[in-house]
């Protein structure tokens, strides 16, 4: 399922955060999640995790969010597409589902990972997201792709219909 909206307001077990490798909070989705969850509490929980490598995922409590957990994943910076960026992005989605399974989360909301300041082309990112999530083996019952804009929602909707 794909929607356009604010990932911080969704009623799901876990939201995925498009984080930086320091898990320090930043702009875009990352900044919005940190603000909505509670900056100080989330920053302290993230500091205990010791960072996160691109393609990996780690969880914290959701604090002030409706979601019980936040799954932080670090997407690739787009460098032209010939440096394994698509593989790292696919790993973000797979690892996030693996962490969700470890948490026994049954519903997970994903933002468009790496399409903001990291510059991953939206169409390629949407293909990676939908393809990876469709191929994944998981106990998660409901996955929501949350688009920030109408363009991304359109990409998700076309791919999910196909």
Residues serving a catalytic function are 30
The closest of 26, 17, 159, 131 to 75, measured between CA atoms, is 17
| Torsional sign, CA 88, 162, 29, 96 | negative
Question: Which 3 state secondary structure label does DSSP give 71?
Answer: strand
d(CA 99, CA 60): 11
Q: Say if residues 93 and 78 touch (Cβ distance below 8 Å).
A: no
d(CA 30, CA 95): 18
- CA count, 13 A, side-chain hemisphere, 122: 12
Give CA torsion, residues 6, 8, 9, 10, to 10 deg. 90
């Amino acid at each position: 399922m794909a929607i356009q909206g604010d990932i911080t307001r969704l009623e799901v077990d876990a939201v995925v955060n498009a984080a930086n490798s320091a898990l320090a909070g930043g702009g875009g989705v990352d900044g919005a999640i940190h603000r909505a969850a509670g900056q100080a509490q989330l920053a302290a929980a993230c500091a205990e995790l010791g960072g996160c490598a691109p393609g990996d995922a780690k969880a914290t409590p959701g604090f002030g969010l409706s979601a019980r957990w936040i799954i932080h994943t670090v997407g690739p910076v787009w460098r032209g597409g010939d440096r394994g960026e698509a593989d790292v992005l696919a790993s973000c989605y797979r690892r996030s589902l693996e962490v969700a399974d470890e948490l026994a989360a049954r519903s997970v909301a994903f933002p468009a990972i790496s399409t903001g300041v990291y510059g991953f082309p939206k169409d390629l990112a949407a293909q990676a997201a939908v393809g990876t999530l469709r191929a994944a083996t998981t106990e998660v019952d409901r996955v929501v792709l949350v688009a920030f804009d109408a363009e991304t929602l359109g990409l998700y909707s076309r791919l999910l219909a196909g």
